Amino acid sequence: MIMLKALKMRRNIPVVIKPFDKTSGTGDASYKDPINTLCYAQSKNTVVVDTRGTEVVSGTQLYLYGGEEITEKDEIVFFDKKHRIKALGAFFSKQGVRELVVVYL
């Protein structure tokens, strides 16, 4: 629980979530209005499983407020660079409340 509190307190880096809207007939994704929020970032090579069931390496992990609505189809803008989300994870409280969302880039 101490680690969780420390991560929540360190969320001070700006990040933008661009929620996925739809894909055009030509395959281009469009996004809804961007959401500005704060995160804690960590640079560490971590193997995760993406939505296709493939193991991929995440080089950066972002820790966001647990109430953020986010999916793997969304786009992340981190330090002015667009990123595809490779996988998502979460930290939960004893009561089952999602406290933090982990975004694997």
Query: What digits encode the pLDDT tens for the residues 74-88?
Result: 999 999 999 999 999
Residue with tokens 């933090």: 100
Strands 35-49 and 55-65: antiparallel
Q: Global pTM?
A: 0.88
Q: Is residue 31 predicted with pLDDT exceeding 60?
A: yes
Rounded Cα gap, residues 75 and 84, in angstroms: 6
Rounded Cα gap, residues 39 and 103, in angstroms: 10
Rounded Cα gap, residues 41 and 19, in angstroms: 20
Cβ pair 101, 85 in contact under 8 A: no
